[in-house]
């Protein structure tokens, strides 16, 4: 296994990015509660609605194991897992930033055998209480304070999470390049916080791609869109190879520069006149 390459951090959204559907909708639909979900949808924020739906499932006798069984059947493109494994094997650090919840995500990635590849999962807490009911809490407790971002849902600003990750890398004096993959409107805010040396991979014809397309100049990062898992794998590998090749070139330049300095020190014993055309 390759050692961790701190110079490349890949951040994945989860729903409709790693998996092909929305995990919240998948559970609700598969367990037969779509009508109630649609009825309640206009009345409360999504995160609050999912907590309410978990209560309804529990009240109707649905167990956590039934929920997990449904989650293990969730559709995923066959090239997504190889893409994640390849990125990890190349030494990239992988993280998840998602508006789903911990129980859903952990159940799915453990079932797929990719849980060990992610160093961090940022999502809404999903904890099972003593009665066996899943409690879905907000990542940011908006009942106490606002996160202050008007673009994002009240329970989570992914842009603030990316800011924190970037700040932690800066604090550790890591010159990391970030690759962000996402599909939803909630992935637009973090795309605006990416630096010029970063990469944004929006899923084509999905909300975040539409938002970026309205004014591409607002995103400083290089934008590479993708359509499905096969496309994701190809483009992600291309970007990783680009970054690694660029870094190898920089290292070679440094080594050549260092060797030239050593040679000069070793053979020159008196001042020499450097031609003006060689001065930067």
225 labelled ligand-binding: no
Write down how long the chain is: 280
Catalytic site residue 29?
no
| Torsion region of 3: left, alpha or beta (phi above 0 gives left; psi -120 to 50 gives alpha) | beta
99 labelled ligand-binding: yes
210 labelled ligand-binding: no
The one catalytic residue among 13, 22, 187, 198: 13
Catalytic site residue 13?
yes
Give the C-alpha separation, 203 to 232, whole Å: 9
85-110 as b/e: b if 16+ CB within 10 A: eebbebbbbbbbbbbbbbbbbbbbbe
The tokens describing 278, both together, are 């060689």
The one catalytic residue among 15, 22, 187, 231: 15
13 labelled ligand-binding: yes
59 labelled ligand-binding: no
Task: List the catalytic residues.
Answer: 13, 15
Binding region for substrate? 24, 99
Binding region for Mg(2+)? 13, 15, 183
Binding region? 13, 15, 24, 99, 183
């Amino acid at each position: 296994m390759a050692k961790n390459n701190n110079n490349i951090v890949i951040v994945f959204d989860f729903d409709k990015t790693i998996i092909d559907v929305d995990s919240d909708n998948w559970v609700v639909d598969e367990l037969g509660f779509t009508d109630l979900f649609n009825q309640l949808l206009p009345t409360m924020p999504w995160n609050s609605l999912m907590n309410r739906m978990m209560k309804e499932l529990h009240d109707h006798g649905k167990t956590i194991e039934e929920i997990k069984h449904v989650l293990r059947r969730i559709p995923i493109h066959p090239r997504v897992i190889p893409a994640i494994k390849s990125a990890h094997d190349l030494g990239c650090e992988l993280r998840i930033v998602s508006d789903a919840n911990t129980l859903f995500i952990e159940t799915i990635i453990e079932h797929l055998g990719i849980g060990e590849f992610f160093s961090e999962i940022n999502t809404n807490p999903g904890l099972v209480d003593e009665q066996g009911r899943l409690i879905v809490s907000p990542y940011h407790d908006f009942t106490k304070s606002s996160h202050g971002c008007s673009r994002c849902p009240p329970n989570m600003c992914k842009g603030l999470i990316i800011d924190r990750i970037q700040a932690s890398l800066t604090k550790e004096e890591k010159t990391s390049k970030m690759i962000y993959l996402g599909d939803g409107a909630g992935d637009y805010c973090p795309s605006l916080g990416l630096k010029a040396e970063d990469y944004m991979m929006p899923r084509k014809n999905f909300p975040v791609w539409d938002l970026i397309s309205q004014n591409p100049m607002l995103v400083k990062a290089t934008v590479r869109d993708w359509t499905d898992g096969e496309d994701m794998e190809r483009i992600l590998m291309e970007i990783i190879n680009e970054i690694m090749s660029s870094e190898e070139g920089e290292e070679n330049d440094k080594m050549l520069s260092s060797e030239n300095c050593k040679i000069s020190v070793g053979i020159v014993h008196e001042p020499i006149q450097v031609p003006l055309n060689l001065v930067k």
